[in-house]
Chains A and B, each alone.
Chain A
Amino acid sequence: MSHVNPGAYREAAARSLRDTPEVRGSVGSATRTFEASRTRAFAPIDGDRWRDWARDVKTHTLLNLDQYLEQAVERLEANGVHVHWAEKDVDALRVLDDIVERHGVRTAVKAKSMLSEELGVNEHLERLGVEPVETDLGEYIIQLLGEPPSHIVGPAIHKSLDECRALFHDHLGTPLDGTPERLAAAAREALRARFLGAELGISGGNFLAADTGTVALIENEGNIRLSTSIPNVHVAFVGIEKVVPTLEDVAGFLQITARSATGQPIGLFVSLIQGPRKADEVDGPEEVHVVLVDNGRTNALADEAAWEALRCVRCGACLNSCPVYRQTGGHAYGWTYSGPIGAILAPAMLGLERAMPLPHASSLCGACVDVCPVRIPIPDILLHWRERAVEAGLTPLGERAGSGMYASLAARPRAFEGAGAMLRHTPWRQTGRTLPVLGSWAQERDMPRPSAKSFRQLWKEGIE
């Protein structure tokens, strides 16, 4: 992904709230709808048991990841798949160079893949003279807009119907008051031709079953099935953490991911891909590549606290529940992965310095803990990164000094009481803005009024 810039989070968030307040409305409404759907979908099941199972399968897998990856590769190769290992984004992208050249690729149809965003696949294809065509309707919309996705599951949730109407009018000639059906039909027609004419289909992978070498993909539109069935070559970019032990495990993960993401029992289309077209098949790609991508994941795995974040199944439930994410959507985070999961992965995969201040883009409210299907202890990991940031000297000096001073005061009750007295006698409701650290409180809120007498004083005077 180009323009990785978590460092600008606070400014980007403030700008979004100030200049495009409608985004807060769209994102709020979409996330609340997803959240309500999830709640309904969990009502008929024993959600705790499902989540414990999913957590344990993923934990077990990560602890034995080398073995399961080796098993998966063996199966994939036996199925006729070309397997590539990519340590970094450039290594993953390089796989495309050879394919594009050999097959004379001019158009690549893309299924929605956050990993392909992370790697910057579209930009790379363009450098190779290939036109990347996003086929997921939400991704298609943001591709027309030239924007990155705003949410893991719904890339265009920050756009309203009217904005889509205007966009489709400009690009596809649909009427300005076109119904959603009309717009969708226009998109279908435009993209149908691209599916049929593309030499290459590119996807991600939701899960990779090690025992059968199966790449599993979930969706509702059918564009992933089309992207992986129609073109002659299919490339799947799969993060190394996507492996699960068996195809039977995939049966469970498909369901818990769908319920957590959109409140469905399962995605309307699931693709289970083993490899290239077999001798007794009439269609399907003749060449299939799976690129196993590290790109910082082994860094995350090595971290004593953050490794649990690799259990993530990319359902987006944490985003949907996060009151911080809801104020701005994903763009403010400046990285492919936003919301709570983005905040805990970024330091591990980008390095802490580059990821700051994302670990602070949270009030530690814990709403995400209630919904994560694989029980990632997100607030604990955020806290871990905050502590590491302090140790690494990445916290503003004023804050460190202030915290140290306050802790000293708090160890000396008389001094603490004295500070409280000062509080009551300085006009800080007027001057509060100038305080270090706490001054920014006054930017958005009126300063609180201290009690006329401290409780300590009331106690000394005697409480009736």
Chain B
Amino acid sequence: MSHPDRSGEKSEAGARILERIRSANVGRDAVPHPGDFGGWRAPDSPADVDPLTGFTTMFEATGGEVINAPDLASAGSWLEAFVEACKAESIAVGRGVPDEVVPTLERVDASGADLAVSSARAGIAETGSLVLDARDGRRTQLLAATHVVLLQVEDIHGSAREAFRDLSSDLPAAIGLHSGPSKSADIGQIMVKGVHGPGRLVAVVIGSAST
């Protein structure tokens, strides 16, 4: 991949910008970093719940659906029934999704699939988010109208900060946080689903929450 070597020019512009920043800040008092973000709740808010309950409440609030499956096998059965109910004829599958869970359907690229199944890297209870890794396949995460995501219950973090701290040590090219079906209110301020991303988002949480 050849392109003109502009690095010399680039770094000159960069050097000038950095110098302007430095001189702008001369004489200003230092302000330390205030420390970790704590997601502090209002004094009268209810006590914290376990991650699975927290995740479920937040995820469902945006129209996401949560299915609980005690193990992989039951997740597979559910998916089988779901495919039938949706009358899906083709499926896109994320790389991390175990074969035994995937129903027998024509596997296609997500751009032509009725249904896509992904494997989540993690979940976040605080924000009701699925953490999706590029390694699983971004097209699969985005292009089908219905998106099913498998999530291990023990991978659900309490807070976004914890989740990000965990991610920091092993980051792929891209991470996506999906917290519900795609929405827009740009047409006359009226909410519609599925404008670009999947209009239906189902999280299949595998394993039981610790009591």
Contacts and interface: CB of A to CB of B under 8 A. Distances in A.
A and B touch in the complex (CB under 8 A): yes
A69 interface: yes
Contact of B173 (A33, A56, A268, A276): A276
B198 A222 contact: yes
Contacts of B87: none
A37 to B, nearest CB: 10
Interface string A348-359: 000000000000
Contact of A44 (B13, B45, B143, B183): B45
A43 interface: yes
B183 A221 contact: yes
A222 B182 contact: yes
Contact of A214 (B38, B171, B181): B171
B127 A266 contact: yes
B174 A274 contact: yes
Nearest to A135: B196
Interface string A135-177: 1111001000000000000111101111110000000000000
Given A250-B164, A255-B160, A281-B172, A268 B3 contact: no
Interface residues of A, number: 110
Contacts of A249: 37
B47 interface: no
B182 A220 contact: yes
Contacts of A248: 36-37, 161, 164-165, 168
Contacts of B6: 84
A184 B37 contact: no
A221 B193 CA distance: 8
Interface string A244-284: 01011111101100000000111111111111111011111
A159 B186 CA distance: 9
A46 interface: yes
Interface string A69-109: 11001000001000111110001000000100010000000
- Most chain A beta-carbon neighbours within 10 Å: one of B4, B185, B191: B185
The 10 closest A-B pairs by CB, nearest first: A222-B197, A161-B188, A252-B37, A138-B186, A85-B14, A270-B177, A302-B24, A251-B160, A298-B20, A56-B34
Interface of B: 1, 3-4, 6, 10-11, 13-14, 16-18, 20-25, 28, 30-34, 36-43, 45, 58, 62, 95, 111, 126-129, 134-135, 137-139, 141-143, 159-161, 163-165, 167-168, 171-198
